[in-house]
Structure 1
């Protein structure tokens, strides 16, 4: 049974719609069941241990550990080595030569 691309796309769209409707229905049923159980046992959201998310800490600047005296470029020593440092090391310099 050969189906055309258009027919297959129509089938997929119909399935996607059916999946979305089923998901919404089952989600609503689950919420109703949870609410019912919470009412039966006198539970609140706090009883479930849900807590508000902690606010993210702002990223702190890390001091430079290595500096190119000629250009002023710097590197904290974290993450990948920058291109300027790789090039200098490849040219024969030592990492310690750039230590701040």
Structure 2
């Protein structure tokens, strides 16, 4: 069984190997990227691509309005609760048309 001193020495040696390997692989990666940039004529500006702006979704004009509360609905998607309740109570959809 190894002593604590031996294990700490092994760990120090492994830490050194890890640091050297990381440095070497990083240098290799940088060289590879530079070679590819040269091969394809790329610049640093080409690498910093901006994300395209997302167009704002335009709001759809309201088609139906609850005159007592001012709530409105565009006619798209599920009917709002206030409209369902009113229709359930006997009102017609056309009664709320703007």
Structure 1 length-normalised TM: 0.51
After superposition, where does 1:78-97 map in structure 2 within 5 Å? 78-97=76-95
Aligned to 2:59: 61
CA displacement 1:59-99 (0-9 Å, x = unmatched): 43322100112222111122222110111122222222211
Counterpart of 1:73 (choices 65, 71, 74) is: 71
Distance (whole Å) between structure 1 residues aligned to residue 93 and residue 57 of structure 2: 26
Cα offset, 1:55, TM superposition: 2.1
Query: Considering only aligned residues, what root-mean-square deviation do their CA atoms show, in Å?
Result: 3.3
Unpaired segments ≥5 residues, structure 1: 1-24
The number of residues matched between the two structures is: 72
Show the counterpart of 1:37: 36
Which structure 2 segments of 5+ residues have no match?
Answer: 1-21
Largest Rg, 1 or 2: 2
Q: Normalization by structure 2: what TM-score?
A: 0.51
Q: CA deviation at 1:45?
A: 5.2
Q: What's the secondary structure of 2:55's corresponding residue?
A: coil
